[in-house]
A and B are shown apart, each in its own frame.
Chain A
Amino acid sequence: MAQLVAIVEDDLDQRENYADALVANGYEVLAYANRSSALAGMKSNLPDLAILDIMLENEMDGGFDLCRDLRAFAPRLPIIFLTARDSDIDRVSGLRLDAWDYLTKPLSMEFLTVRVNSLFRIVNSLNEPEEIANQHRLERGDLIIDPNSMSISWQGQPISLTLTEFWIVEALAHRPGIVKTYDNIMQVTRQTYVEKNTINGYVRRVRKKFIEADRDFKHIETVFGVGYRWLK
């Protein structure tokens, strides 16, 4: 059975394009134009994944509100924000609502489907027995990366990262001591175009999350003007 993706986007053209791209990749798609219809539709027909725009018609934070409403009856539903709003504050508020990722427009359809695929893979792996899950585990000292569930733990504590953040940490930790340039990292984030500054922002947030778990965390080093590297 094809997985059901719900798209909430007030712009008809974009909504249709997302839907077309996802349908072409074999997903079932339900598209909504505003918060009330989306809430009503998803209540009756719960999707496997939801992609939300933040500004919905004349509601500035319609997407955030919708996310809260969805969490009320579907706490484990993977949610991706896809928005034109690119401020740190929006990112932080979006992720605080337990969204799985926060993407900014414009985004290539190819990368959108990659993400949707990845997220479904995570969902599936979470349902798999543990032995299989541990099969491809990557261990770097205190760092344990599970590529199937796309989860990371540091000194045994799970670190809650978004999809993009996970990809960055995975890329850095894959070859410790080797510098990942901004270009490399940009590829990893699977977004069309990412500024150095945006990458810095991702890394800052990642560090912060590690530091919350371990005050002495210093394993991600900035190589100014070039990129970052994972220290052994």
Chain B
Amino acid sequence: MRANSNIQQRFGFSIRTKLALVTILLLAIPWTAYVYVRDMKTFLLAGQENALTLTVRAIATVLHDRPELFLSDEEEVLTAEPGDIYAHPLPSYINLDGGLEDWGEQILSSTTFAMNLEGELAENLLVRHTVGYRGAYVFAFFDVEDDFYVGRNLEWLRLDTSDQLRITLQSPAVGENRYLFTAEEPGRMSVYLMDLAWEYPLSGDPNYDMAANIQSSNNGYRIELRIPRYLLSSDARIKMEIVDVDDSLGRSVQDIVPFNPETASDSLSRVVVSSPEITRILRSLDRPDSRIWVLDEGGNIRTVLGELGQLDDDIQSNTTFGYFSQLEQAYNRLIAYVFALIEEPTVDSVAAGEADDPLNQEIIEQALEGTPGTLRVTGESDSERVIVMAAHPIWLADSVIGAVVVEQSDDEVLYQQQAVLEKVIGATLLILIGVIAAILIFASRLTLRITRLRNATDGAIDRDGRIIQTAVAAEARAGDEIGDLSRSVNDMLGRLSQYTNYLEGLPDTLAHEVSNPLNVVNSSLDNLSKEHPLSADSKYMTRAQSGLQRIRSILKNLTEAANLEQAMQLDKREVFDFPKMIEDYVDGCRHTHPEREFRFSIFKQPLYINGHPDHIAQMLDKLIDNALDFAVAGTPIRLSARELQGHAILDIANQGKVLPEGMAERIFEPLVSLGRSDAKKTRLGMGLYIVKLIARFHQGDVSARNNVLGDGVTFRISFPVTTIESVKRKISEAA
């Protein structure tokens, strides 16, 4: 029987858990890396600011003391015919979709027109209009308030029968061209080159020089127009008119609103594109992902150059499939999550301007006052995106004639940071997984080895503390501390077993040594009574003999256990019916102890066991002696035989003193006695030890417990039942 039941429940954590907890400390590595990466970002942004400051200063230096760049327009404007159309730079290209969002601040500078050709207020018609430019295009915007929108009727060949936009372009090289913009319904407008009377197109094919889009609005419609710059060279002239038709049946022209309020004539205007000179200078300074603004003294935008790049979103754009890419996506999601988790805003909490126009008024004012400055702002639409701005005044002698603002997004910095962070996270994850796996494997191995050693150690000593194995094989050859432990356990077991052998042999040796002098006394007394017949009758002789008798009994008791084991090994076992044997035995008891009552009940018969009936009887002798010793006079000794879980069970119960607490196990140890009822009876505490030896020799067990009623003690012996098959086999072998 294994001694595992004796192992105390371990409290506290296992080595594995402890090491796993220690590995948590490794998380400091990615944290440190994160701190470094963040510092790096700050550092990079600072570097970017510096670079930007240098750039802006360089640009400003180019523009220093060159008032003509700023004045030339003014002059041009002054020298122009009245009615010049002034095109402002636009913050971005315009989508021809009827939306106002991409016009930025420019929409604010739109003018409202309501006069018709006759100089009178047009009926039910109001047009808000502005012109801007961006790159190679000039854009125009018309917001028309019209009570009835009349679209083109495709069945009509005459085109002056719907709401329309008319543009007349005149240049010395090309001559005069009339363009008519019309649409059946909101959307892209058709463009036709028209005859002088604006009645019929010159050809049936639309013209694609210009593009326009019409969208209906709350109280009318909106037109966005795009004209390539080459059509508007400096000597070109333009005239734009909105033609209103309200009667969808008659379709006569109600009103024509020209955008030339000063003249109110059919003369043409010049489109003045602002500061081409500055633009030309700046073009050589154009940097990717940056935008350069030049403002004049009054804060008016003279020119804008460049685009702010868009943040590459290659993470989401990953559309490949398969296991590996799923893994990659998961990894990317993790990275994105880590970013979201650890990223803190690294910009001042300055409110940004409009989404596509983060130009901040504050630093411009500062610059116009003569103080260069830098600023970081977050874009509203994209919180990850930070715009770095630098502004510098442009000097003319001691006075400020304008300012240069350079904007740059931190995409590059972000990109670098993300790349580094990805690498760091990847590397750290690998290291962490590796280290944790290694530690877990190590811990598991260690635990396994220790467990193996523990089990071996447990197995070396049985439940009763007897040494079964004198050496523990587990880990004995390991070179480390566990090996040391194993070896010292071996050493300990060796010494312990020597000592145990000595102790086990002690009663035998003692008995042997005592029996010689005892024999001297015995034989001397015999001879004495022969020589002096009188002394033979002396009461002292009787007492001496009885004393000798007791010493003999003690010696027999001492040697019985040792001899028993030898005897049992020599004897042959037999299969017999356990309850029948007990019944015979109890009959014998009734014969030898006629004064006592024995009650025996059999719950199951036959129950075959394989063993030595003599030794089992010897065992019963001890148990019955014990029961008789402790039973209250006049009470019966109760025995019962039954089968329980493949074991033949015999209970022997007596009424009387109960076992003191903790004695139930100990009474089966050698030399443990519960005291004596008769001073002349030797009680060496070997009896129950012998019971146990015999039980164990038969692969059985013995236990003692107090009766349920608390009025006595019940001993229970159990032996494994031998199956009918093996009995039959035995019988057939014998036959």
Contact = CB atoms under 8 A, between A and B. Distances in A.
A116 to B, nearest CB: 14
A197 B566 contact: no
Interface in B478-517: 508, 511-512, 515-516
A224 B613 contact: yes
Interface string B200-221: 0000000000000000000000
> Which of A84, A85, A195, A222 has the most chain B CB atoms inside 10 A of its CB?
A84
A88 B585 CA distance: 25
Contact of A106 (B518, B613, B614, B624): B518
A175 B364 CA distance: 139
Contact of B570 (A88, A105, A193, A225): A88
Given A88-B566, A181-B592, A222 B617 contact: yes
B526 A11 contact: no
A195 B588 contact: no
A121 interface: no
B124 interface: no
B520 A21 contact: no
Interface in A1-15: 11, 13-14
A21 B519 CA distance: 13
A25 B548 CA distance: 24
B81 interface: no
Nearest to A227: B588
B567 A13 contact: no
Interface in B568-589: 570-571, 581, 584-589
B553 A224 contact: no
B618 interface: yes
Interface string A197-229: 100110010000000000000000011111000
Contacts of A14: 516, 519-520, 523
Contacts of A13: 520, 523-524
B621 interface: yes
A184 interface: no
Which of A20, A24, A105, A108 has most chain B Cβ within 10 Å?
Answer: A105
A182 to B, nearest CB: 9
A88 to B, nearest CB: 5
Contact of B624 (A110, A197, A225): A225
B106 to A, nearest CB: 121
Contact of A84 (B516, B571, B584, B617): B516
Contacts of B556: 193, 195
Nearest to A108: B526
B559 interface: yes
B507 to A, nearest CB: 12
Contacts of B531: 24
Interface in A75-103: 84-89, 92
Contacts of A225: 585-586, 588-589, 591-592, 617, 620-621, 624
Contacts of A108: 522-523, 526
A18 interface: yes
A14 to B, nearest CB: 5
Given A224-B617, A225-B585, A86 B563 contact: yes
B523 A18 contact: yes
B592 A226 contact: yes
A192 B570 contact: no
Contacts of B564: 197
A188 B305 CA distance: 135
A226 B592 CA distance: 7
A45 interface: no
A18 B524 CA distance: 9
Interface residues of A, number: 36
Given A14-B516, A106-B518, A193-B549, A224 B523 contact: no
Contacts of A86: 511, 559, 563
A224 B527 CA distance: 38
B338 to A, nearest CB: 80
B140 interface: no
B387 to A, nearest CB: 104
A101 to B, nearest CB: 16
Nearest to A21: B527
B588 A223 contact: yes
Contacts of B592: 181, 225-226
B584 A195 contact: no
A84 B531 CA distance: 26
A190 interface: no
B618 A11 contact: no
A173 B617 CA distance: 23
A109 interface: yes
A86 B564 CA distance: 11
Q: Which of B519, B563, B570, B584 is most buried by chain A, counting CB atoms within 10 A of its CB?
A: B519
A205 B171 CA distance: 146
Among the interface residues B523, B588, B621, which one has the most CB atoms of the partner chain A within 10 A?
B523
Given A20-B527, A106-B515, A107-B519, A224 B566 contact: no
Contacts of B624: 225
Contacts of A201: 567
A158 B585 CA distance: 33
B584 A223 contact: yes
Given A86-B563, A225-B620, A109 B526 contact: yes
Contacts of A193: 549, 552-553, 556
A115 interface: no
A226 B588 CA distance: 5
A204 B527 CA distance: 34
A109 B519 CA distance: 10
B14 to A, nearest CB: 50
A17 interface: yes
A71 interface: no
B560 interface: yes
Contact of B516 (A21, A105, A181): A105
B621 A106 contact: no
Nearest to A111: B526
Given A196-B621, A197-B618, A224-B588, 13 more contacts: A13-B520, A14-B523, A21-B526, A86-B559, A87-B562, A88-B570, A108-B522, A201-B567, A222-B617, A224-B587, A225-B591, A225-B592, A225-B617
25 contacts: A11-B520, A13-B520, A13-B524, A14-B516, A17-B520, A21-B523, A84-B515, A84-B516, A85-B512, A105-B522, A106-B518, A106-B522, A181-B592, A192-B552, A193-B549, A197-B563, A197-B618, A200-B617, A223-B584, A224-B584, A224-B585, A224-B587, A224-B613, A225-B589, A225-B620
Interface of A: 11, 13-14, 17-18, 20-21, 24, 84-89, 92, 104-110, 181, 192-193, 195-197, 200-201, 204, 222-226
Q: 3 smallest A-B Cβ distances: which pairs? A: A225-B588, A17-B523, A224-B585
